[in-house]
Structure 1
Amino acid sequence: MSGTEAPRPDYPWLLPALLANGEEDRVRRSARDWVIDVLCFLLASGFGACMVYVTGHGVHPAPHPPRMPDVILGAASCLLIWWRRRWPVPIALALAVFGVLSVTSVGAAAILVFTVAVHRRFRTVALVAAAHIASGGVYAVLYPDPRESYWVGLLWTVIVIGAVVAWGMFVRARRQLVLSLRDRAVRAESEQQLRVEQARHQERARIAREMHDVLAHRISLLSVHAGALEFRPDAPSEEIAQAAGVIRASAHQALQDLREVIGVLRDDASDGAPERPQPSLTDLPALIDESRRAGMAVRWENRIRDVTKVPANIGRSAYRTVQEGLTNARKHAPGAAVQVMVDGAAGTGLTVEVRNPMVKAAPEIPGAGAGLIGLTERATLAGGRLEHGRTRQGDFRVHAWLPWPAP
């Protein structure tokens, strides 16, 4: 006996205003609505026909309204069911008036009370229910049943109207629950899509940092060796061949690293674990030797007893810090001695420091400071911190502290 439309705001209290709002409250019927409306019409008509038979052929006939007005009002009540979706409250109040003079309209009246209980707020439902209870009381006064007292008949009216209202409000509550669950599902899906998008952006940022850390080191080596060949064209052939070999090896390694990083972009990783290339703290000696072969003076001091016990993510961040420090020193302070120190222990944290003197006249190698920004973000995400800048002694210092939890 209910439709599929969502609950709508209450009508104003005045009947003319209720009727004036009918056009705005029009709802297009679906196939399910048509089936329900046909069933409601048949139920109301069948109940009305039963009441006509009972009032005319009862064993103990009781007073009842005149037959012709009763049937006319009952038929009109059944027809008004077709407009119950558009004007439920006005029609329900009209049927309360019909109920004073028509017993055949009781079925249609119950359907309208149920409709109001489903689609309107409790205040409006209470008003309509009170109107129908009052109509039943007036009917009992006009046509008293000699077999029962007035109050018993009124009590039965209250019980029937209360049951219809309770059923309708239960249906309304269930619909609101379904709508709420549907809204939560839609909102949860939107939030999930947002989280996926955020994860995608974070993954792209991580891959961009990896690409910068890997390629900046290789390309700076290429720049140093290419600059040496440019400024010393008269160098011995062995040195030229050695520099060319280093350039070729660095270019090959840069292409290999770039291929691996781009492979990460193409792969759809199911977890958030970083992909290759992912060095650790045990790879620092190879990085230092590579920088020394490029002509850098690097002083390497390792104060950690066993670097293999350093967690992978912490060791990776430490490696990237040293790599970026060496790259910056090679770009902005060529020929300067670089000091690299790694210290720490489980429970106290891991300290990484790269220091080099400032050089006034340095070649113009492109740099926008993105590497230091990426290192700062990497250290912050790991729960640590990173500081960089000029010291009082005139050196440029990159200092990072990373958490190293106790086992």
Structure 2
Amino acid sequence: MSSRPPRDLWAPISVWGHVWRGLLAAVTGTLLFLVSNDPQFSRPLASWVPFVDLVVGVLSLVLLPLHRRSPLLVPVLLQAMTAVSTSSGGSASVALVSVATRRRWPRIALAGVVAMLASLAVSRIYPEIDPMPTALNVATMVLVLAAQIAWGLYLGARRDLFATWQWRAETAEREQAQRISSAREASAPASPARCTMCWPTGSRWCPCTPVPSPTGTTCPASRFARRPRSSRAPRCRP
């Protein structure tokens, strides 16, 4: 039995899985939108920015259920949307965690770089009232992205482990069933050969010693008729 399962054994996302992911993204995006539009923290660059922010945020919620079908294009697109929309940050975070669960570092690096650039861009659209130093701001962004990626890596390792256990159990059950079937076929008694000369009708078994042959044995009946019957059953000649 091979110790490595197929590449992808993850179960598809159920309806409830899409629902709670969408709710989590919507709640997170709403909180980010409210904070970014709070006059105590930041102010929009223009009056039309909040409207565009909300439109892009709704579009990100529509695209979020497609992140499994396009595990690279959709997450990267959602990261890019955060450059003009803080309300799409929830969908982008869920997509980034999903990318990290696959544990493919080129995709993780691409999504992380796009998310980092988008975070720097949105800070220009929503300038802070009391801005932090640039180094501290960048360090905070890197820490948040690293936490999301680390959580995704943990979830991916956990899912792979459970999927491997299930695959090994199912494989062991199939192989055990095959061994039992083969043992039953090997232990089944073979059908005795028929003597086509002694019992031409085939309604009774030949009293001669059966010879294991698929076509039966040939026993000249006239030869036995000339001899007296003995207690020992005659043997057929092959």
| Separation (CA, whole Å) in 2 of partners of 1:89 and 1:101 | 20
Q: Is the 8 A contact 2:67 2:74 kept in 1?
A: yes
Please tell me whether residue 154 in structure 1 is matched to residue 138 in structure 2: yes
State the AA in 1 paired with 2:14.
Answer: D
| Separation (CA, whole Å) in 1 of partners of 2:120 and 2:132 | 14
| Separation (CA, whole Å) in 1 of partners of 2:50 and 2:187 | 81
Write 1 or 2 for the structure with the bigger share of strand. Answer: 1
Greater radius of gyration (CA)? 1
Counterpart selection for 2:181 from 183, 197, 211:
197
Deviation readout 1:193-224 (Å, 9 max, x if unpaired) = 232233234424xx55xx89xxxxx849xx9x
Question: Displacement, 1:142?
Answer: 5.7
With over 3 angstroms needed to count, the CA separation of the structure-2 counterparts of 1:153 and 1:181, relative to structure 1, is same
Q: Map of 1:37-116 to 2, 5 A cutoff?
A: 37-57=18-38, 60-65=40-45, 66-116=49-99
Q: Map of 1:349-388 to 2, 5 A cutoff?
A: 365-367=236-238
Q: Map of 1:2-401 to 2, 5 A cutoff?
A: 7=8, 33-57=14-38, 60-65=40-45, 66-119=49-102, 121-140=104-123, 143=126, 145=128, 146-204=130-188, 219=209, 230-231=226-227, 244=229, 246-247=230-231, 250=232, 365-367=236-238
Q: Is the 8 A contact 2:37 2:44 kept in 1?
A: no
| Separation (CA, whole Å) in 2 of partners of 1:366 and 1:147 | 107
Deviation readout 1:60-100 (Å, 9 max, x if unpaired) = 32244532222222222222223333334222222222222
Identity among equivalent pairs (%) = 23
| Separation (CA, whole Å) in 1 of partners of 2:30 and 2:126 | 19
State the AA in 1 paired with 2:138.
Answer: L
Q: Is the 8 A contact 2:26 2:61 kept in 1?
A: yes
Deviation readout 1:21-78 (Å, 9 max, x if unpaired) = xxxxxxxx97x622222222222222232233323445x3224453222222222222
- Please identify, of 158-167 and 113-122, the stretch whose mean Cα deviation from structure 2 is larger: 113-122
| Separation (CA, whole Å) in 1 of partners of 2:109 and 2:8 | 16
Matched residue count: 206
Corresponding residue for residue 390 of structure 1: none
Q: Is the 8 A contact 1:41 1:78 kept in 2?
A: yes
The TM-score normalised by the length of structure 2 is 0.68
Q: Is the 8 A contact 2:37 2:43 kept in 1?
A: no
Q: Is the 8 A contact 1:141 1:150 kept in 2?
A: no
Q: Is the 8 A contact 1:101 1:139 kept in 2?
A: yes
Question: Displacement, 1:102?
Answer: 1.8
Q: Is the 8 A contact 1:44 1:107 kept in 2?
A: yes
Question: Displacement, 1:169?
Answer: 2.5
State the AA in 2 paired with 1:45.
Answer: A
Write 1 or 2 for the structure with the bigger share of helix. Answer: 1
Question: Displacement, 1:131?
Answer: 1.1
Question: Displacement, 1:128?
Answer: 0.9
Structure 1 residue runs of 5 or longer lacking an equivalent are 1-5, 9-28, 213-217, 232-239, 252-329, 332-364, 368-407
With over 3 angstroms needed to count, the CA separation of the structure-2 counterparts of 1:203 and 1:139, relative to structure 1, is same
Deviation readout 1:336-357 (Å, 9 max, x if unpaired) = xxxxxxxxxxxxxxxxxxxxxx
| Separation (CA, whole Å) in 2 of partners of 1:219 and 1:53 | 96
| Separation (CA, whole Å) in 1 of partners of 2:103 and 2:125 | 31
Q: Is the 8 A contact 1:96 1:131 kept in 2?
A: yes
With over 3 angstroms needed to count, the CA separation of the structure-2 counterparts of 1:120 and 1:89, relative to structure 1, is farther
Question: Displacement, 1:107?
Answer: 0.9
| Separation (CA, whole Å) in 2 of partners of 1:152 and 1:54 | 19
Partner SS state of residue 136, structure 1: helix
| Separation (CA, whole Å) in 2 of partners of 1:80 and 1:171 | 22
Structure 2 residue runs of 5 or longer lacking an equivalent are 1-6, 194-207, 211-218
